[in-house]
């Protein structure tokens, strides 16, 4: 498949839309909303390149006012950019938070974005008030020697190896609306010790690991999927990332264009992986 055809397929994918429905009565609260979040951290010099994707579900039967839905980011966050394909949320100019700019109606809304998270020394600290209930929280970061994470929430930690690189995956216990999510990540390198190619390989490996982890969970029986199914879109996005990395290595794409496109694809991948995961959960429950 040509790169142009692949790009058209990606652009044709239906996006989750904020369900702002004027016929719904008002009065909904942030505590009526349930969400899941995936955070991917890529270690850079004195900063963490962060990809964050939220899936928000409002089943209360009431619209939730924008003032209820303000999502804080860690101190030191900057250059926040949200996925423009899903309206309904905007980024603060100072990069400290994102928030709704219209009522949240029924259904599921996906909010994804990327930002830089600066830290001092070898430790990154975050204390964020989360406005909604969260029943799925996952953080992925390269398992650097000496890396340590502590939190006010209980979590399970596991390590996965891929192509000689280890990645730490942290799954946190549920969090109630209005509660703070506190993180302390220590043992981060205070200066860059890896060539740029290794950092790029780490980002690719995270994507590949996430895909493989879900593939292993699929039923063993053969199934047929349409060209626009979640798994088909997953494969398309991974292929697009591979092409983007090749273009970058060949200097066919400018750095700013690479960063923007990479962020878009990572956000799309997080969304489609969550679709697959939810479908698998429904099948197991059924």
Question: pLDDT tens, 35-88?
Answer: 999 999 988 878 999 999 999 999 888 999 999 999 999 999 999 999 877 789
Mean pLDDT in residue range 184-212: 60
Look at residue 195 in the predicted model and tell me its pLDDT.
Answer: 43
> pLDDT tens-digit profile of 6-39?
333 333 333 344 444 457 888 899 999 999 999 9
CA 284 to the chain's CA centroid: 24
Look at residue 257 in the predicted model and tell me its pLDDT.
Answer: 82
Please tell me the least confidently modeled range out of 7-16, 77-86, 103-112, 155-164. 7-16
**Residue 201: pLDDT over 80:** no
Look at residue 229 in the predicted model and tell me its pLDDT.
Answer: 76
Per-chain mean pLDDT for the chain? 78
| Burial class of residue 256 (count of CB atoms within 10 Å of its CB; 0-12, 13-18, 19+) | exposed
Angle 162-119-38 from CA coordinates, rounded to 5° = 45
Mean pLDDT in residue range 100-129: 92
- Here the tokens at position 236 are 């398309």
Look at residue 209 in the predicted model and tell me its pLDDT.
Answer: 56
| Closest to 37 (Cα-Cα) out of 16, 49, 51, 53 | 53
Helices 255-285, 230-249: inter-axial angle, 10-degree rounding = 160
Look at residue 26 in the predicted model and tell me its pLDDT.
Answer: 83
Strand partners, 75: none
Strand pairing report for 107-118 and 47-58: antiparallel
Mean pLDDT in residue range 83-106: 90
Question: Which residue reads 């990809």 in tokens?
Answer: 51
Please tell me the least confidently modeled range out of 11-25, 73-87, 90-104, 239-253. 11-25
| Closest to 142 (Cα-Cα) out of 205, 76, 73 | 205
| Closest to 249 (Cα-Cα) out of 197, 189, 187 | 197
Look at residue 215 in the predicted model and tell me its pLDDT.
Answer: 47
In angstroms, the CA 267 to CA 15 distance is 11
Q: In total, how many domains does the chain have?
A: 1
Mean pLDDT in residue range 156-178: 87
Question: Which residue reads 């970061």 in tokens?
Answer: 141
| Structural domain range at position 100 | 3-285
- Here the tokens at position 254 are 């400018």
Percentage of the chain lying above the pLDDT 90 cut:
41
In angstroms, the CA 243 to CA 262 distance is 11
Look at residue 204 in the predicted model and tell me its pLDDT.
Answer: 56
pLDDT higher at 107 or 2: 107
How many Cβ atoms sit within 10 Å of the Cβ of residue 200?
A: 17
In angstroms, the CA 42 to CA 60 distance is 36
Look at residue 5 in the predicted model and tell me its pLDDT.
Answer: 31
């Amino acid at each position: 498949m040509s790169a142009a055809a692949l790009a058209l397929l990606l652009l044709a994918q239906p996006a989750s839309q904020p369900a702002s429905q004027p016929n719904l009565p008002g009065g909904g609260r942030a505590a009526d909303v349930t969400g899941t979040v995936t955070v991917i951290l890529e270690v850079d010099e004195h900063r963490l390149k962060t990809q964050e994707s939220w899936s928000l579900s409002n089943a209360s039967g009431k619209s939730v006012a924008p003032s209820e839905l303000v999502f804080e980011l860690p101190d030191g966050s900057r250059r926040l950019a949200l996925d423009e394909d899903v309206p309904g949320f905007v980024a603060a100019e100072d990069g400290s938070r994102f928030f709704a700019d219209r009522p949240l109606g029924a259904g599921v809304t996906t909010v994804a974005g990327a930002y830089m998270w600066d830290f001092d020394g070898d430790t990154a600290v975050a204390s964020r008030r989360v406005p909604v209930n969260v029943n799925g929280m996952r953080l992925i970061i390269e398992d650097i020697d000496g890396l340590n994470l502590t939190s006010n929430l209980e979590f399970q930690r596991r390590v996965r190896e891929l192509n000689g690189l280890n990645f730490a995956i942290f799954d946190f216990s549920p969090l109630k609306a209005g509660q703070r999510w506190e993180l302390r990540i220590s043992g981060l390198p205070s200066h860059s010790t890896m060539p740029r190619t290794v950092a790029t390989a780490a980002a690719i490996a995270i994507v590949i690991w996430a895909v493989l982890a879900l593939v292993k969970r699929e039923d063993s029986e053969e199934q047929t999927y349409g060209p626009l199914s979640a798994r088909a879109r997953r494969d398309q996005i991974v292929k697009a990332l591979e092409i983007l990395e090749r273009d970058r290595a060949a200097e066919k794409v400018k750095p700013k264009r690479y960063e923007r496109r990479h962020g878009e694809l990572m956000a799309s991948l997080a969304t489609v992986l969550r679709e697959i995961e939810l479908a698998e959960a429904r099948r197991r429950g059924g």
